[in-house]
Structure 1
């Protein structure tokens, strides 16, 4: 997964071979909401946002930044 930021806020990403535009106002997530692997928990933070692909499919994504980059924790319909 690749995540591009504008002014330190998610703006677009590539995930599962698709380009996604962030189409709402991202919400910053803190430690207490994560069920991420224990080795990634130090300094863990992330975002929740709606992403829309080029076909118009919209999903909600929870993403977190681990030691080796950004990861999708969860993607779901709303």
Structure 2
């Protein structure tokens, strides 16, 4: 096994809980592949969204989340589109 993407099925989307992969296979972009698979599954299941979880703007380890658009932020019980 090269990668695992723990994913929760929600009424309107998929929640990417945790993804991990074989460190020696980093060149294969398995984390990116996992997100693209989740997007494909959400589309196949006719779900609205894939939730990538918390995002801290100034955290470099979380910058990969900005590669997937649109980015929406839940604030004051409302979804706001950032990008």
What interval of TM-score do these two structures reach, taking the shorter chain for normalisation?
Answer: under 0.3
Determine which structure has the larger helix proportion and give its number: 2
TM-score normalised by L of structure 1: 0.24
Determine which structure has the larger strand proportion and give its number: 1
TM-score normalised by L of structure 2: 0.23
Larger Rg: 2
